[in-house]
Amino acid sequence: MDEPELTGMELPTVLSATRLKQAPAEVPGSMTVLDRDLIRASGARDVPELMRLVPGMMIGYNSGHRSNVNYHGLNTTEARRLQVLVDGRSVYRPGLATVDWTDIPLAIEDIERIEVFRGPNTAAYGANALMGVINIISTRPELRQGTRLKITDGNRGVRDLYASHGGAVGNTHARLSLFAKEDTGFDFDDDGEDFRDSRRLNAVNLFGTTQLDATQSLHWQVGAKEGSNQVDNDYTVLARPTDDDFLYDRLVDAHDDVSDVTARDYFAQLRWKNELSPTHSIELKTYAQHVERLSEWRACDSPVVFSPELRALYEAGNVYPRRINYILRDRGLWGDPEFYRAYLVNEDGLPPELLPLVESVVAQHAAARSGPPSCWDINENLRETRYEAELQNTWQMADNLRGVVGGNLRYDQAKSQTLFGGKVENHIGQLFGHLEYRPFERWMLHFGAMAEQDRLSGSSFSPRLAAQYFIRPTHALRLVYSEAVRSPDMYENNARWTYTPNNLSGPAVTDTEYYAIAEAPGGLDQERIRSSEVGYNGHFHRLGLSIDVRGFYEDIDNLISEPLQIVNFQPTNESSARFSGAETQIDWSATRQDRLRLTYAYVDFTASNRLDQRLTARNSGSVAWLRQWPAAINSSLIYYGADRLNERRFERLDGRLAKRFAIGTSSSLELAATMQYRLDDEGLTWPENLYESRDQYYLSAELSF
């Protein structure tokens, strides 16, 4: 298929779709590539904000330092269904099935590109790539030598520092990066109260490449991060104070011990590659990582939270303690037995024989209310560790046939006395393979699959079939069918969340076992998606224009939608969801100085669980204009919009203006200003996520030498 339009043209390639290096038109699915120029022009300080440039990606915030990135939506508070890789290392946490975007120890200044596979990709990366894969790729140290110093300062407490130095010793190139980041998060909640959600982090990353000989290379990386995230004390007081006539109410109301999270991350990874020939290579990668999220505080509550009678009511139905909460905090109710007896029995279905338990709990609390509350040390500490090793073999078997096969072994561990009652371990083994075959000049067929054995979730097999017809060498129509799974995380399948009291003070209690316990049922099945896709990818070289269009239908069964919480925790596989729609992305280098970019997604959906009906915008997208002006001035203007994110509209206009000054022959200084302006006046995802002003700005200065 040699054609004049390819003369002198270097086709772009992607690496993350099938583990084979491919041109965009050859990929069996839809890819979004965010390159270094686009990342820099966006002015984004965090990866989730970059994901707004990806069609169909829904970005939500629980707090200023906790964001959720979901492809096509589903639960607003948990992002469980995207595999996220940093240089091939998974940062998808096994314990709570989430990604801590704030705490990834990689500076955004060190990111070369981000490849996003939009659609199921368990066939290439195993369970948890249910909806897609985000692969964050660092700039190789040999491509970024010298020293860079950068400072960023702005409103909302923004203050970021970055420093890196790259050098070479013999056949080894390395880059050491140090960075710090902080901001104050949202300003206030919907009640006008201060929102304690600031963050602070410091991190170090050392990345190196060593050329062992003509065919063998080593890529190695180590990193560490420490920081803290402000979190309001989230312990829910059973008998919430409402009456200053009682000592208990006054002391509990005055008690406000913080439960800020201390976050620490450590990792080391190594990748060895041997180019045996121009058509055959083998690669071995391994890594170890450890994550700590430590939160400790002192809780105060009524001594009835340790009552065996309340535990018996909780075991009969967790709705009953919630109703008792209403009763205990209203003297008019707990002083009127006839009312609450009828209310519990008639409205909530409490068996009449359990009424004596209710009366006992009410009496215990009434007796204790004139004195101080019970107080004890509490924690939600969690430590997670992962070890992984993977071997893959890539070879070109014939001019029209190539493939990759490999295997992977992983060990995951989560330790928390509060969340798991100790330690949970898992062992995962994977075998994968992908074939790319051209039976005719204009046709390409793909077959890929992953077989996986998970000790906690059982075995699974995830296939993908695709066919492409090439209209021209860089223009292809595609048809894709794939299946993928997500394994229940350790919390969903192995939780034993309860609070063990330490250093208990206050009135005597009849027992020291907390009444509530979230105990996972075990035996949950894997979530499964069946996806069909038709699409087009084309690159018009003479016009500098790239277009990708995707039409999709996705059917998810065995969905686990229940939130991770200590009360009302009943995870099941009873939910389901269906997504259908279309997406497009257009990237056009209109002139040598102007780059225009458009994304749009239309998503029609149904979900059986109301919690999965919130974070899907029916219409969403972005429009960007990047411009290189004379005198080394660069500007960007980007619009983001979504018509419904947790029932809220989102529209924002971002602008960045930068000027580079040459200093001598090898040094430069760049000054940049970034401005973000919300075009709507709604809370970000949740009503309490509010700012005093619609605009955010920050200034940065970067010195390179």
Give mean pLDDT, residues 6-31: 81
Q: How confident is the model at residue 190 (pLDDT cuts 50, 70, 90)?
A: confident
Which 3 state secondary structure label does DSSP give 17?
coil
Is residue 462 in some structural domain? yes
Place of tokens 């200590």: 566
Q: How confident is the model at residue 102 (pLDDT cuts 50, 70, 90)?
A: confident
Stretch (H or E) spanning 342: helix 337-342
**Higher pLDDT pick, 553 / 9:** 553
Does some domain include residue 368?
no
Say whether 366 sits in a helix, a strand or coil: helix
pLDDT of 111 above 50 = yes
- The mean per-residue pLDDT over the stretch 600-623 comes to 92
pLDDT at 426 over 80: yes
Contact 329, 242 (CB under 8 A): yes
Q: Where are the beta strands (DSSP E) in 123-260?
A: 132-138, 146-154, 159-169, 172-183, 199-211, 216-229
Give the 3-state secondary structure of residue 156: coil
Return the minimum-mean-pLDDT range out of 2-16, 372-386, 599-613: 2-16
**DSSP per-residue letters across 30-77:** EEEEEEHHHHHHHT-SSHHHHGGGSTTEEEEEEETTEEEEEES---SS
> Within a domain: residue 13?
yes
- Contact predicate 491/285, CB 8 Å: no
At how many degrees (to 10) do helices 308-316 and 319-328 cross? Answer: 130
pLDDT one-digit tens code per residue, 289-316: 999 999 999 999 999 999 999 999 888 8
Residue 133 is assigned to a structural domain of this protein: yes
| Tokens describing residue 379 | 């924690």
pLDDT at 8: 41
d(CA 581, CA 583): 7
Asked which of 101-105, 389-393, 694-698 is least confident by mean pLDDT, the reply is: 101-105
| Predicted pLDDT at 569 | 81
- With beta carbons less than 8 A apart as the criterion, state whether 497 and 479 touch: no
For residue range 662-677, list pLDDT tens digits in order: 998 889 999 999 999 9
Question: What residues form DSSP beta bridges with 223?
Answer: 205, 267
Between 460 and 645, name the one with better pLDDT.
460
Instruction: Give the lowest-confidence range in 78-82, 468-472, 615-619, 689-693.
Output: 78-82
Percent of the chain with pLDDT over 70: 97
Please write the tens of the pLDDT for every residue from 127-167: 889 999 999 999 999 998 999 999 999 999 999 999 999 99
Please report whether residue 460 resides in a domain. Answer: yes
CA 109 from centre of chain? 19
Beta-carbon contacts of 693 under 8 Å, excluding residues fewer than 6 positions away, are 155
DSSP state letter for 346: I
Residue 197 has φ and ψ, to the nearest 5°, of -145, 35
Cα gap 127→334, rounded to integer Å: 50
Tell me the pLDDT tens digit for each residue of 474-497: 999 999 999 999 999 898 899 999
Residue type, 524: L
> CA–CA separation, 39 vs 114, rounded Å?
9
Residue 330 is predicted with a pLDDT of 67
| Location of structure tokens 């084979």 | 20
626-641 mean pLDDT: 97
pLDDT in tens, 205-243: 999 999 999 999 999 999 999 999 998 777 888 877 776
| Residue 256 confidence (pLDDT) above 50 | yes
- pLDDT confidence band for 6 (50 / 70 / 90): very low
DSSP state of 367: H
Strand 82-86 and strand 132-138: the pairing is: parallel
pLDDT for 316-369, tens place per residue?
A: 887 888 788 777 776 656 567 777 777 778 777 888 888 888 888 888 888 888
pLDDT reading at 659 higher than 80: yes
Q: For residue 346, how far is the Cα from the chain centroid?
A: 43
Q: How many CA atoms lie within 13 A of 378 on its CB side?
A: 23
Residue 402 has pLDDT above 80, yes or no: yes
Q: Report the chain's mean pLDDT, rounded to a whole number.
A: 91
Count of structural domains, the chain: 1
Tracing tokens 């409490």 back to the chain, one arrives at: 350
Instruction: Assess if residue 323 is contained within a domain.
Output: no
Residue 96: pLDDT band with limits 50, 70, 90: confident
Task: Copy the structure tokens of residue 218.
Answer: 């080593």
CA-CA distances (angstroms) from residue 597 to 48, 108, 114, 458, 543?
18, 21, 16, 43, 14
What is the Cα–Cα distance from 132 to 84, expressed in whole angstroms? 9
Distance CA(607)–CA(612), nearest Å, equals 6
Q: What is the CATH number of the domain that holds 658?
A: 2.40.170.20
Asked if residue 326 belongs to a domain, the reply is: no
Q: Is the pLDDT of residue 7 over 50?
A: no
Residues 565, 566, 570, 571: is their CA dihedral positive or negative? positive
| pLDDT range class, residue 375, cuts 50, 70, 90 | very high
Please report which confidence band the pLDDT of residue 644 belongs to, taking 50, 70 and 90 as the band edges.
confident
The separation between CA 401 and the C-alpha centre of its own chain, rounded to angstroms, equals 36
Q: Which amino acid is it at 175?
A: R
Give CA–CA dist 392/28, Å, rounded.
Answer: 20
pLDDT of residue 9: 44
Determine, yes or no, domain membership for 683.
Answer: yes
C-alpha pair distances (Å), 662 with each of 150, 163, 377, 481: 16, 19, 58, 52
pLDDT greater than 80 at residue 46 = yes
Q: What's the half-sphere exposure (Cβ side, CA atoms, 13 Å) at 41? A: 24
Under 8 Å between Cβ of 238 and 304? yes
Give backbone dihedrals phi and psi of 667, rounded to 5 degrees, phi first. -125, 155
Please tell me the number of Cα atoms within 13 Å of 133 on its side-chain side. Answer: 29
Give the pLDDT confidence of 47-74 residue by residue, as tens digits: 999 999 999 999 988 888 888 899 998 8
Domain that holds residue 291: 4-299+378-704
CA distance 131 to 82: 6
Q: Nearest CA to 621 among 603, 647, 604?
A: 603
- Which residues in 52-145 belong to E strands, given as ranges? 57-63, 66-71, 82-86, 89-90, 111-118, 132-138
